[in-house]
Amino acid sequence: MKECNQKAGEKKGDERKSFMSTCLSGKEPEAKMTQQERMKSCNEKAADKKGDERKSFMSACLSGKEPEPKMTQQDKMKVCNQKAADKKGDERKKFMSECLKG
């Protein structure tokens, strides 16, 4: 308890309560990234993006809501082809069309 109190420092209210609960259970809370660290990390991840795509990515990344990477058409084609391996003719054509739409 004494050690956790020291680590809690000047935390107050719900933040302190949450910290103490985690600390006393023997789990160390994850260290939060500073804004500067988050900016550096997001910049590295956005190196290949430009314009509006980069702007949108950076906004989401900095707010902690990093978007899922989009699958390229080529990647979709590979996945759909693998799934359609046992289909033939019109059935395959219909499946591929639906699969590629996403």
Interval 51-102: pLDDT, tens: 998 898 888 888 877 655 667 788 888 889 999 999 999 999 999 999 888 6
Interval 30-43: pLDDT, tens: 556 788 888 898 89
Question: The dihedral of CA 47, 48, 50, 54: what is its sign?
Answer: negative
Query: 95 and 83 in contact (C-beta within 8 Å)?
Result: yes
In the chain, what are the domain boundaries?
Answer: 1-31, 33-70, 71-102
